[in-house]
Structure 1
Amino acid sequence: MQVENRSKRETRIFRVSEENFDTILDEAAEIIRKGGTVAFPTETVYGLGADGLNPDAVLKIFEAKERPPGNPLSLLVHSREDIRKVAKNIPEKAVRLMDAFWPGPLTIVLEKNDIVPEITSGNLPSIGLRMPDHRIPLELVKRAGTPLAAPSANLSGKPSPSLAIHVLADLAGRIDAVIDGGGTAIGLESTVIDMTVEPPVVLRLGAVGIDDLEKVIGKVSRPMGTETKAGESLPEKQAGQKYSHYTPDTMVVLVEGEKEEKVSEKIGTLFEDYLSKGQKVGLLLSDETAGFFTAEGLSAHKCFLLGSRKEPEEAAKRLFEGLRALDAEGLDVILADGSFSLSGLGTALLSRLREASSVRYIV
């Protein structure tokens, strides 16, 4: 499959409210039925949707995102009937996960039915399915009458969008419409678990953690690269991730470790080193690490605060916004703080920071 950019088009912007909700969703659903592309918020990140059962419509997603051919997409569904339409041989454990976590931030990989086009599944015999916990995509799937192929609404490889302005920065003129529904609640993509193998394999971490999954279905295989002990090797890619993700144009240097003070000290040392070489440095920090710098030092340089180390959920919500904001500043390097608590979304947050980084230090 050869992916080429089509001519620029006007991207409509729908700002949704209770008063215009039905009108906007009907218009967006009509765009989907006609084979178009619509970006919209979910509880995780903004997605770029098209009719997942229409190969020509799905091709437009690849074109708009400049997504590598063969990189599989997942489908958003509205009901259990949608699931039976596109998947088969659904294991009992998968049903238990649906009961426990749907609607919600969990993508479940199942054997696909023949109705799912090869372009959607990346020529694989399986397909990822998710029922989002957000009114807009659920209604859009329902009104369009088809499962939606819906990867994140960004240029391929770039940080995912948590705001409509992020979508427009990447995809204005490339897609038909954006539904602006405000910021996303979680800010990181869904957890992905492959249920076509035993034990099931977690392909990507998100808001549903390993412990959450194992309480429902027992043992699962963990993704590579989730260890955080000093001195352990960090693989270049997690299991199931064929292509780079979350990567700004600016080089990101990540500092992580078990002792928060050492992380702060290392970031401070690197900061001074880069400045001494005449480079422009940005800082992506926890509130606590920011306290290591003087107020004058922070104000003199580009700094984006993610929040407290003890509140990784808030940091996760702001991560992609921070990467995008700093990436737009014409910097030479972004120093990123990897000292956030590994409770809640902390492990998923760290995995995204690792993906975004070109250089990593463990202290």
Structure 2
Amino acid sequence: MFNQLKKAYLLLANGRMFEGKSIGSKGTTIGEIVFATAMTGYQETLTDPSYYGQIVTQTFPLIGNYGTNSIDVESNNTYLNGYIVRELCELPSNFRCENTLGEFLEKQNVVGIADIDTRCLTRIIREHGVMNGMITTEEIKDIDKALEQINAFTIKDAVKTVSCKEKSYHKVENATKEVVLFDFGYKYNILRKLNNLGCNVTVVPYNTTAEEVKAMNPDGIMLSNGPGDPAENIEVIENLKDIIKLQIPIFGICLGHQLMALANNAKTHKLKYGHRGANQPVIDLKVDRTYVTSQNHGYAVESDSIDSTVGTVSHINANDKTCEGVSYFNTKAFTVQFHPEACGGPLDTSYLFDRFINLMDGKEV
């Protein structure tokens, strides 16, 4: 709920100020401001580790109308640095509702702001690119000092921070496959999907070595989503080069897609404002079909940097034609930039998990 109508302020790195109402915790937070275009799935957004260090703006004007619950989470924490909405629903209506969104934000210690012009904010980001910003419930008396703090903020050690510290085993009855899931900031629904398809899953830390993977003797390897600049993960990239040599089937999602490309000497670059939302169109070049996908990323693989003897672009974004997937020739692997496991989100591309099962069975995909 609103903090007793307490004022909150949003200050952008370019000096633009917005005044609104405080939601969630009181205090001050700084992060990289991004926008997400999904109409639903806000609880999944709030608990997605890929938003580490970022302040998320929901472009849909009314958020919180079905409340929150203890089931629809994608991790055991919130990793974003702040939350921005146009209107926060304080009287949700849903039979699964356990708490309001405002109560959830308070419990998770998330500093947020409501009642600002999110359309204006989104247009600023689209025109000028993602930028840092500050949300505070305190009056900003020294703008220059605040701007100095805002501009000094950077997202560092993102994967290292959100990844698990120890491996864990998730077993299901009548399992037919053993899969190693690298936790770069994985969403719970990746694990659920694999378990539902008859896979026992070992979730491992980001820096698990090729030797350790080989000792587990898995049927397949899943490279998860995660936050931050993919090129920052030098240790992981070098490790993946050795993992590729094991010739174990690999499926990569989002950051896993980017890291796999970097391990094969391709390049990545930062997008102006990224792709975030549950309504992103992607073309599967193999079948010439456009799918609606859920996405959350600020970087993309450079299509022209992929060695044609190593792999080929399999999917592209229908809007800006950026790389959305790669199929590899040098190993049994394919990766996608979007989220086929998305929940909440479209289910159009869940067939990719079946493709991974087929790959582990030695079938052509």
- With normalisation by structure 1, the TM-score equals 0.28
Point out which structure has higher relative CO (alpha carbons under 8 A, 6+ apart).
1
Normalised by the length of structure 2, the TM-score is 0.28
More strand by share: 2
User: Which one has a larger percent helix, Structure 1 or Structure 2?
Assistant: 1
